[in-house]
Chain A
Amino acid sequence: EIVLTQSPATLSLSPGERATLSCRASQSVSSYLAWYQQKPGQAPRLLIYDASNRATGIPARFSGSGSGTDFTLTISSLEPEDFAVYYCQQRRNWPPVTFGGGTKIEIK
């Protein structure tokens, strides 16, 4: 089973700041990594698929990078609606599909 480790667990930032979230895989997942955003009381929303491709309707301030075992989700300038929990997920080697433990971006 591929384990995904996200860091940091919590990121305290202010609106307008840049957010950098990390996801590290226990073995290579090539580029088969997705990122999701989840706000309280809501279902997750697909942001990025295959490491660097924005899903439909996702603003350009969200970008993904990386391959192999190290991945990054960057939010170039935080908007108020971006404060949420973010999960990475791999589909390189499944079953099982695995998710990271999440990174919460909170308002500083």
Chain B
Amino acid sequence: EVQLLESGGGLVQPGGSLRLSCAASGFTFSNYAMNWVRQAPGKGLEWVSTISGSGDSTYYADSVKGRFTISRDSSKNTLYLQMSSLRAEDTALYYCAKSFTGGVAVTFDYWGQGTLVTVSS
């Protein structure tokens, strides 16, 4: 059974940093691209970032480019999102999502339950 468990969210001041983690199990982690998708309170879904299965290729939304870094550790089956220079508009529930097929596919077939990031002074 595929499981994705996010952690690392919390309250952070504007300009601060936070690292999110997503522990994956139930599939061959290195075979699939992984993704972060966020949802501001009461709002819709916003794609944040994607990393290839090998970790060699990364992609970002313009809204986070230069501030967020996606990475993965296949020895730990864990996905990360390092967030810096955080802004109030980054406040959201951050979901980790598995790509549906191999390659760098961006259809998301499994999602974690999310970790909440609140940026506020």
Binding site for B on A (CB under 8 A): 34, 36, 38, 42-46, 49-50, 55-56, 87, 89, 91, 94-102
16 A-B interface contacts by CB (under 8 A): A36-B108, A38-B45, A42-B113, A44-B111, A45-B111, A50-B107, A56-B109, A89-B45, A89-B107, A91-B105, A94-B47, A95-B50, A95-B61, A99-B44, A99-B45, A99-B47
Find the B residue at minimum CB distance from A43: B111
Interface size on B, residues (CB 8 A): 21
Q: A43-B95, A97-B47, A100-B44 are in contact. List 8 more A-B contacts (CB 8 A).
A: A36-B45, A46-B100, A46-B107, A56-B109, A87-B44, A89-B45, A91-B107, A102-B45
Considering only residues 29-47 of chain B, those with a C-beta below 8 Å from chain A are 37, 44-47
- In Å, the complex CA distance between A13 and B60 comes to 38
> A40: shortest Cβ distance to chain B, in Å?
11
- In Å, the complex CA distance between A23 and B107 comes to 16
B23 contacts the other chain (Cβ, under 8 Å)?
no
Q: Is the CB of B108 within 8 A of A46?
A: yes
- Chain B CB within 10 Å — which of A42, A91, A100 has the most? A91
Decide yes or no: A46 and B109 within 8 Å by CB, A87-B45, A97-B47 being known contacts.
yes
Residues of B within 8 A of A50 (CB): 107
Find the A residue at minimum CB distance from B111: A43
Decide yes or no: A96 and B62 within 8 Å by CB, A87-B45, A101-B44, A102-B44 being known contacts.
yes
